[in-house]
Structure 1
């Protein structure tokens, strides 16, 4: 790493260690974000609603200097930073903000690794996400809000009623 730029990065963790790594980063005063969704888990004797990571084994981390870079890499359960070539890959602030908005407000979230054609650029006019400009695609005959996370090759889809959208 020749020059350091402050911003959002992604750490790859050991399987099922996302919450532990997130807690370790918080203990070290490093700002991190673990997007989760509530899912119903069914065992043979009970049912329970649990928080599971949207992106298994990935945590978003905000690094502002080299010291936080090394402390993040040394967190117990963290394996390495996601890279593109020889450089660690940055995630745009708008992508992280959109994920925060959607994961905090929506229950019907779907993660897809499909590649989507560019959709219509619209603005949400009703509900808790009012004012958010978004990309809307059609899947299975339904309009869905799309947040692309190119670095992880994933997309977040959220079902929205057609009447809550307006053109820019």
Structure 2
């Protein structure tokens, strides 16, 4: 890590299926973190059950206030490393983290895509739980979808909202 430290959101890469354990341990250490999940119906031979699955498998967003948080985060069993671009730890925009929080708290039906999207129409949500959110709307599978870009992970979150929920900027 470089000698200059900047407070903010970063990403930890975890061992497969260790996201919840690492997230729980970060909470115990009172380190702010985000593990966005979606409800998925799983089928076993004797039952069906909805479970929470990470939106971004093996990734946890962590807010680092100081170097101690940095070391505590990486020392947790299941944490492998901080995501970097080159030799620098990659910082995640506060706006991206806030959009992910807002969407995962308010919307049940969403999907994650690694497709590349051309810039979409810039709109504002006028109705519903996401009222006031500036967004980008793209065409996906012949439907208008709200798009949240998570460039660092090369992923996008897509949400279907009725057309009458949007107003042009």
Could you state the TM-score of these two structures normalised by the residue count of structure 1? 0.99
Q: Distance in 1 between matches of 2:162 and 2:30?
A: 40
Matches within 5 A, 1:27-46: 27-46=28-47
Q: Distance in 2 between matches of 1:153 and 1:139?
A: 17
State how far apart, in whole Å, the 1-side matches of 2:134 and 2:76 are. Answer: 36
> Paired residues, what number?
168
Cα distance, 1:2 vs. partner? 2.3
CA distance in structure 2 between the partners assigned to 1:71 and 1:46 by the alignment:
39
Query: Displacement, 1:125?
Result: 0.3
- Written as runs of structure 1 = structure 2, the 5 A alignment for 1:99-118 is 99-118=100-119
Q: Which residue of 1 aligns with 2:167?
A: 166
Does residue 67 of structure 2 align to residue 66 of structure 1? yes
The alpha-carbon deviation at position 63 of structure 1 amounts to 0.1
Query: Displacement of 1:44 after TM fit?
Result: 1.2
CA distance in 2, matches of 1:92, 1:111: 19
Which contiguous aligned blocks of 4+ residues in structure 1 show a shift greater than 4 angstroms?
A: none
DSSP-derived class of the 2:148 partner: strand
Structure 2 residue runs of 5 or longer lacking an equivalent are: none
Stretches of structure 1 that go unaligned for 5 or more consecutive residues are none
Q: Distance in 1 between matches of 2:113 and 2:104?
A: 15
**Alignment TM-score, normalising by the size of structure 2:** 0.98
SS in 2 for 1:144: strand
